[in-house]
Amino acid sequence: MKRVHVAVGVIVNEQGQVLLTRRHNDAHQGGLWEFPGGKVEAGESVVDALARELAEELGISVLASRPLIEVSHDYGDKHVLLDVYLIEKFGGSPAGMEGQPMVWAPVTDLDGYEFPAANVPIVDSVVSTLA
C-alpha cells in the first residue's frame, strides 16, 4: 500500500481561530476541509517540509511551532502518517496560493466542517488545547 508522511500545520491567529483549507475535489480525500500541509520529501525534515508547504500553499513563513499530535491512519488505498504542529507565530498573511478555499474558523465551530477520517483525533486535540 502507498504510505505517505505528511507535515500538517494548525495555524492559530490572535483571535484563537484556526486556518482551514479545502482540498481540491479531484485530490485524495477531495472536497473535505484540512489543515494545510503536504508530503515530506526524501531527505527533508518534518519541520522543513512544514515550512515549505505553508510557504507554497499559503505564502506565509513559520516563526514559532510546536508538535501537537501524530496520527497514523489507514484509508485502505493509502496509509498516512500525519505529523501535526501548532503554528503559534507566522509571518505574512495567509492566502490560498493554489486557488483553494480558505477560512479562519473559531475552535467552537470545528464540528460544523467535514474533515478526512484521520482528522478526528487532530480536531479533538485542537479543541482541548485551544478551547
Ligand X SMILES: Nc1nc2c([nH]c(=O)n2[C@H]2C[C@H](O)[C@@H](COP(=O)(O)OP(=O)(O)OP(=O)(O)O)O2)c(=O)[nH]1
Q: Which residues bind ligand X (CB under 6 A)?
A: 4, 6, 8, 27-29, 34-39, 53, 78, 80, 82, 116, 118-119
Q: Which residue is nearest to ligand X (CB)?
A: 38
Binding site for Mg ion (CB under 5 A): 38
- Out of ligand X, Mg ion, none, which partner does residue 118 contact, by CB within 5 to 8 A per kind? ligand X
Tell me the C-alpha distance between 76 and 90, whole Å. Answer: 35
The answer to whether the beta carbons of residues 105 and 20 sit under 8 Å apart is: yes
User: Phi-psi category of 94—alpha, beta or left, where left has phi over 0 and alpha has psi -120 to 50?
Assistant: beta
Smallest separation (angstroms) from ligand X to the CB of 102: 13
**Which of 38, 94 has the CB closer to Mg ion?**
38
Smallest separation (angstroms) from ligand X to the CB of 31: 12
- Out of Mg ion, ligand X, none, which partner does residue 131 contact, by CB within 5 to 8 A per kind? none
If you write DSSP's letter for every residue of 16-66 in order, what string do you get? SEEEEEE--TTSTTTTSEE-SEEEPPTT--HHHHHHHHHHHHH--EEEEEE
Smallest separation (angstroms) from Mg ion to the CB of 37: 6
Smallest separation (angstroms) from ligand X to the CB of 14: 22
Residue numbers belonging to the annotated binding site? 23, 28, 34-37, 57, 119
Using alpha carbons, select from 8, 129, 30 the residue that is nearest to residue 75.
30
User: Phi-psi category of 43—alpha, beta or left, where left has phi over 0 and alpha has psi -120 to 50?
Assistant: left
**Which of 49, 68 has the CB closer to Mg ion?**
49
